[in-house]
Amino acid sequence: MKRILILGGTQEGYALAERLVDVAGLEIISSLAGRTLAPRKPKGQMRNGGFGGADGLARYLRDEQIAHLINATHPFADQISANAVAAAGAVGVPLLRLLRPGWQAQADDRWIMASDIAEAASLCRREGGRIFLTTGSNDLAAFAGIHNAHFVVRVVDAPETMPLHDYVTITARGPFSLADEVALMNEHHVNLLVTKNSGGGATSAKLEAARKLALPVIMVERPAIALDPRSPVAEDVETAIAHLLAAP
């Protein structure tokens, strides 16, 4: 029996567990970060919460005799991704990165690229106005101290404390439709969208809506670890399964 550890919590992580759980000879364990209040339960076994850094993950891989590690976390989950590279390397366990492709700007798009959240925040300070902020609840502190903007903040779970000056919070989980995104941006008189380049279809309608309304988009680029050459990348679940089944 080969034990597979999926660092999950993403749609791809759930889909992969669902597909692999029926493959004979494999035992599937999904690991969730433990941050969402009511996480969906993946197929197969589940564990919850951090490992205690790269050393903790390496210990887990060794103790649980994991045969293959699959990092299916979010494209911006740079810490766990770096830990996966270090731990898999230390223990000699093969690692696969399941990483959906990033969004690409289209002809009518007005993207302003930001290399990280801090740059996105300074661009917001420069632009001001009514800003639709969709970068997630972890990164709101970077936008504290901006006084020339009203933020329409969309998050999955409302944070306990909100560091922003002038804002309204919308709690919602994708997928979102184009019609709803256009309606939301119109209702709140949004003049700027801020997003990470997460990729995928569940939250891409906001980009179509911004295009339709001719709004600029501050697009936060992916961290470098997302494409670390030490872990081969599968862009979708089928490719990941093929890679895994071909492994010795």
Q: Which of 234, 231, 242 is CA-nearest to residue 80? A: 231
Question: From the CB of 77, what's the least distance to ligand NAP, in Å?
Answer: 3
Q: Residue 163: count other Cβ atoms within 10 Å of its Cβ.
A: 12
Cα separation of 167 and 202, whole Å? 24
Cα separation of 55 and 71, whole Å? 16
Site string for ligand NAP, 181-220 (x = CB under 6 A): -----------------x----------------------
CA distances from residue 150 to 119, 123, 134, 211, 223 in whole angstroms, order as listed: 18, 14, 14, 21, 27
Q: Which stretch binds ligand NAP (CB under 6 A): 3-11, 90-98, 158-166, 226-234?
A: 3-11
Binding ligand NAP (rule: CB under 6 A), the pick from 22, 56, 118, 247 is 56
27 binds ligand NAP (CB under 6 A): no
Nearer to ligand NAP, 10 or 27 (CB): 10
39 binds ligand NAP (CB under 6 A): no
Q: Which of 75, 20, 81, 98 is CA-nearest to residue 221? A: 75
Question: From the CB of 65, what's the least distance to ligand NAP, in Å?
Answer: 18
* CB contact at 8 A, 137 and 157: yes
Name the strands in the sheet holding 110-114, side by side, starting at the edge strand that comes first in the sequence: 110-114, 216-220, 192-196, 129-133, 149-155, 167-171
Site string for ligand NAP, 59-98 (x = CB under 6 A): --------------xx-xxxxx--x---------------
The percent helix, strand, coil of the chain (3-state, each to 5) is: 35, 25, 40
Compute the residue count for the chain.
Answer: 248
Residues sharing a CB contact under 8 Å with residue 44, sequence separation 6 or more, in sequence order: 17, 20, 21, 27, 28, 29, 30
Nearer to ligand NAP, 190 or 195 (CB): 195
Binding ligand NAP (rule: CB under 6 A), the pick from 139, 190, 207, 215 is 139
Binding ligand NAP (rule: CB under 6 A), the pick from 136, 142, 154, 220 is 136
32 binds ligand NAP (CB under 6 A): yes
Nearer to ligand NAP, 115 or 186 (CB): 115
Question: From the CB of 189, what's the least distance to ligand NAP, in Å?
Answer: 25
Nearer to ligand NAP, 9 or 185 (CB): 9
**Strands 192-196 and 216-220, how do they pair?**
parallel
51 binds ligand NAP (CB under 6 A): yes
Tell me which residues touch ligand NAP (CB under 6 A). Answer: 7-9, 31-33, 50-53, 56-57, 73-74, 76-80, 83, 136, 138-139, 198
